[in-house]
Amino acid sequence: MLRYVLRRLLTAIPTLFVIVTISFFLMRVAPGGPFNQEKGLNPVIKANLERVYHLDEPLWKQYFLYLGSLLRGDFGPSYNLPDFTVGELFRIGLPVSIQIGASALTLALILGSALGIVAALNQNKGADYAVIATATAGSTIPTFVIAPLFQLLFALTLKWLPVGGWGDGALVNKIGPIVTLALPQIAIVARLMRGSMIESLRSHHIRTARALGLSDYSVVIRHALRGALLPIISYAGPAAAALLTGSIIVETIFQIPGVGRYFVDAALNRDYTLVMGTVVVIAIFTIVFNLIVDLLYAIVDPRVRYD
């Protein structure tokens, strides 16, 4: 197992290198620059800023300078937030995004799995149709529609929750973004769990367990659920990476100071280093969570071995 983990971590290095390289040159191909947005900026001041940030250097030299800084763990300064480095912005925004994303993912996995199991045990019955209809609606309605409706109903009409803001991490400020992020994931997890649970309940070892007189609880929870979890685990890896690094739409609508909101501002203002830093962080999260998913396979399914 340890050799497999080390091998996967070593293969992640060239993967990150390719991601950084492609992202770096794609950012430079896009028209405009970090200091082209300033109206009436003196050409001399603009030239000095580009010299300070090495933007007047040849593109290949800028690339190797950035790689050198990245190898030292330095994401560089933010061009449009000169009082902060990219690392400092991540130290501020990443914990916020992780709190919101982890809570939304946990809620989605628990509630979505429970709904999927209920639908599978009541296949082609009223409960099954209700879960499928709700899941279909939840997975098709985008978050930029759910978030304003949530604000309109629970904040402006009922006045139970604030419209937005972080509020120093108060629970009432977290409920809106967490529920908005979790709803589409709940729908997807419920549909995945329903399909995999139905397939698992029809397998031969489940029929044998029923023939041996095991209780319904033992058959469903101890035997069928274990095989049904594999598709959920596969989906949870990339979903966790996306949620924990912040949702661009949700953080923008609810005015949450997370990484996703920084990414929007950076893309609009051509803040190269902040965009690149966000891409690197998302890539690292994706690689790590995919590795965790592969390791969980070996725990859930005894047929999977990484010797």
Mind listing the pLDDT tens digit for each residue in 194-211? Answer: 998 888 888 887 888 778
What distance in Å separates the CA atoms of residue 88 and residue 94, rounded to the nearest whole number? 10
Q: Average pLDDT for residues 7-14, to the nearest whole number?
A: 84
Contact between 262 and 274 under an 8 Å Cβ cutoff? The reply is yes
What is the average pLDDT value for the chain, to the nearest integer?
Answer: 84
Please, what sign has the CA dihedral across residues 99, 119, 294, 250?
negative
Name the percent of the chain in helix, strand, coil, to the closest 5.
Answer: 75, 0, 25
- ∠268-271-272 over CA atoms, to 5°? 120
pLDDT at residue 107, rounded to an integer: 92
Distance of alpha carbon 138 from alpha carbon 110, whole angstroms: 16
The answer to whether 276 and 67 have CB atoms below 8 angstroms apart is no
Q: What is the DSSP letter of 57?
A: S
Q: Residue 85: what are its φ and ψ, rounded to 5°?
A: -90, 165
Burial class of 98 by CB neighbour count within 10 A (0 to 12, 13 to 18, 19+): middle
Nearest to 128 by CA among 227, 225, 194: 194
| Paired residues of 77 in beta bridges | 85
Mean pLDDT for the stretch of residues 253-282: 83
Residue 38 pLDDT > 70: no
pLDDT band, residue 22 (cuts 50/70/90): very high
Numbered ranges of CATH 1.10.3720.10 in the chain: 86-300
Amino acid at 140: T
Q: Considering the chain, what percentage of its residues have pLDDT values greater than 70?
A: 95
How crowded is the C-beta side of 131, counted as CA atoms within 13 Å? Answer: 27
pLDDT higher than 80, residue 276: yes
3-state SS class at 77: strand
pLDDT of residue 301: 66
Backbone phi and psi for residue 16, each to the nearest 5 degrees, phi listed first: -65, -40
Q: Which residue has the higher pLDDT, 51 or 301?
A: 51
CATH topology assigned to domain 86-300: MetI-like fold (1.10.3720)
Structure confidence by residue, pLDDT tens digits, 106-164: 999 999 999 999 998 888 888 889 988 888 888 888 888 888 999 999 988 988 888 88
C-alpha dist (Å) from residue 222 to 117, 209, 268, 300 = 13, 11, 50, 11
Q: Decide: 112 and 185 in contact? Cβ < 8 Å.
A: yes
pLDDT higher than 90, residue 298: no
Distance (Å, whole) CA 264 – CA 209:
53
